[in-house]
Each structure stands twice: as structure tokens, then as C-alpha cells.
């Protein structure tokens, strides 16, 4: 995984810098997200690792993407195909989103709760995270009944485990040590 990120970073950074320069960050994010979906498709992925000539591979990929990629996006695909790097497109898209979020001073936080949280509670979590992280926060919520009660919040490197399952686990560790 780290190797893919290392390979993908220069492409993501170049695409991001160009997108900022052209005031097209959101459209580039959408293009890369779509290209990543195409690259991960079960019928396309083996072709990207095959022995197709780079020009034919770029034509194949851009043909599938069609109007979803503008001329500059298609050019990125051509460059990546020439360098044999199309299989890292999902990592490029992921890094691009990270660059965009850092640029916009935003962070995505994953909130996993035992039950569905009220809108009021979500707003409270969002407000407290924004204060703590000094960034705008976008919450991605999910439900995991195995938590018993409480929530687990993950935002970048920050993990806040306020679940009953987590507290029981820490108590068990304390008792066994």
C-alpha cells in the first residue's frame, strides 16, 4: 500500500496543482473518482496490468470514460499509461481528495455508533471536532450494533473511542496487567 501511495503521489499532486490553478478542484475530484471506479472494475483492472501498448491502453481507458474526463484528464491518463501506472489511479484519486481537504481546511470524520444518532447530536459532534481540529468537519456516519452503546470517531490520526465495547476492552486490559 505504501508503495502505491509513493507512486501515486506525484500524479495526484500534479493534478491537484493544475486543478487549483484552473479553479477546477471539484471537477477534477469527480473525474478522478470516476477514473478510479473504472480502474477498479473487475473487467478493466486485468487489462491495466496486461501487455497492451501504452497508446492503446490510454485509448481503451479514455474510451470507457468518455465524456466523464475532459481533455486534461484524458492527458493524465495518457501520461500514466505511458509510464505503466494506470493501476494506481484509485490511490491517485484518494490522495487528490486528501490534498483537496487539506487545501480547503476540511477533514472527513467517520462516526460509528451503536444506534442512529439524532441530528442535534451529530451537530454537537461536528462542532466539537471543528473546535478541536481547527478545520471544517464532514461526518460520515454508520451504525455498528456490536458497540453496545456510545460512539467511535475517527478523523485522520485522531481516534476517540467512547463505546461501551472499547471501555470494556480497556478495563479487561487493566485487570489483566
Q: If you average pLDDT over every residue of the chain, what do you get?
A: 84
- Among the listed ranges 12-26, 39-53, 102-116, 149-163, which one has the minimum average pLDDT value? 39-53
The mean pLDDT of 28-52, rounded to a whole number, is 82
Q: Which of 54, 34, 32, 36 is CA-nearest to residue 45?
A: 36
Percent of the chain with pLDDT over 70: 99
Give how far Cα 18 sits from Cα of 25, 27, 29, 67, 73, Å: 9, 12, 12, 19, 11
Q: Is residue 2 very low, low, confident or very high in pLDDT (cuts 50, 70, 90)?
A: low
Are residues 6 and 66 both part of a single domain? yes
Grid cell in block for residue 154: 475517527
End position of a domain, from candidates 38, 71, 101: 101
CA distance 169 to 163: 10
Do 77 and 7 belong to one domain?
Answer: yes
- Final residue of a structural domain among 101, 128, 162: 101
pTM of the predicted protein model? 0.64
Give me the residue label for grid cell 473511542. Answer: 161
Taking only the tens place, the pLDDT of each residue in 75-90 is: 888 888 888 888 888 8
Range of the domain at 125: 106-176
Across 37-41, average pLDDT: 84
Q: What is the pLDDT of residues 123-176, one digit of tens each?
A: 998 898 888 888 788 888 888 888 778 888 888 778 888 888 878 888 888 888
User: Same structural domain for residues 44 and 115?
Assistant: no
Pairing of strands 136-143, 151-155: unpaired
Give the H/E segment covering residue 117: none
Total domain count, the chain: 2
Last residue of a domain, one of 78, 101, 124: 101
Amino acid at each position: 500500500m505504501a508503495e502505491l501511495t509513493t507512486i501515486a503521489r506525484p500524479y495526484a499532486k500534479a493534478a491537484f496543482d493544475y486543478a487549483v490553478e484552473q479553479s477546477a478542484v471539484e471537477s477534477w475530484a469527480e473525474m478522478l473518482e470516476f477514473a478510479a471506479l473504472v480502474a477498479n472494475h473487475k473487467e478493466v483492472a486485468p487489462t491495466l496490468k496486461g501487455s497492451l501498448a501504452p497508446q492503446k491502453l490510454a485509448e481503451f481507458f479514455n474510451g470507457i470514460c468518455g465524456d466523464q474526463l475532459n481533455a486534461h484528464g484524458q492527458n493524465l491518463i495518457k501520461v500514466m499509461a505511458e509510464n505503466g501506472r494506470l493501476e494506481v489511479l484509485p490511490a491517485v484519486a484518494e490522495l487528490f481528495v486528501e490534498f483537496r481537504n487539506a487545501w480547503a481546511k476540511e477533514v472527513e470524520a467517520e462516526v460509528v455508533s451503536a444506534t442512529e444518532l439524532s441530528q442535534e447530536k451529530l451537530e454537537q459532534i461536528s462542532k466539537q471536532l471543528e473546535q478541536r481540529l481547527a478545520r471544517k468537519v464532514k461526518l460520515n456516519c454508520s451504525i455498528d450494533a456490536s458497540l453496545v452503546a456510545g460512539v467511535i470517531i475517527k478523523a485522520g490520526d485522531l481516534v476517540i473511542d467512547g463505546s461501551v465495547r472499547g471501555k470494556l476492552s480497556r478495563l479487561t486490559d487493566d485487570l489483566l496487567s
